[in-house]
Amino acid sequence: MNARVDLPQAREVCPTTTRRLIGEGALLVDVRERAEVAQVAFDVPDLVVMPLSEFEQRFAELPRDRELVMVCQVGARSLKATYFLMYQGYTRVANMEGGINKWASKGFPIKGARAGASTPAAVSGCCGTAAPASAAATSCCEPAPGANTASGACCSPAAAGSGSCC
């Protein structure tokens, strides 16, 4: 089945860098479930919605020759998707730390039913907290011990369909 690959540490970029990369032609890939995206979404010209629950089946739709920035609610699911793409041989991929929570807290463009409120709480999802101050322990799941990135997602992609921020 799956051969083991020694993966390097995933590239992580902040929302500000993400905006710059988008300006340079990068594609934003939102791995939240569709119900979450309907509530609030990134308002950028080039965006693909590919829920984590569909990711394994659809990832090949993503271009290999273009910079990809993976995003989600807090940066946990998108980190998993980032590593998955790296496992599949993608080299031009990075995770946006902090997710749409951090993006919105910086006043960057969002749209959707909940976009009217400007506070981070409006886009904080199931955790109901403001955008995290640090990159660590931003997931509502048990944090991975020794993790030095915004990881800790313990849920399977199917579980993410329940609207959790995992």
Rule CB under 8 A: is residue 153 a binding residue for other proteins?
Answer: yes
Rule CB under 8 A: is residue 152 a binding residue for other proteins?
Answer: yes
Rule CB under 8 A: is residue 151 a binding residue for other proteins?
Answer: yes
Between 39 and 53, CB nearer to other proteins: 53
Separation of alpha carbons 61 and 64, rounded Å? 9
The amino acid sitting at 11 is R
Between 2 and 134, CB nearer to other proteins: 2
Q: Is 127 a catalytic residue?
A: no
Element (H, E) at 21: helix 15-23
Other Cβ atoms less than 10 A from the Cβ of 93: the count is: 24
Question: Of 29, 46, 85, 90, whose CA–CA distance to 64 is shortest?
Answer: 90
Rule CB under 8 A: is residue 88 a binding residue for other proteins?
Answer: yes
Interface residues with other proteins (CB under 8 A)?
1-2, 4-7, 9-10, 52, 55-56, 79-80, 83-84, 86-88, 141-147, 149, 151-158
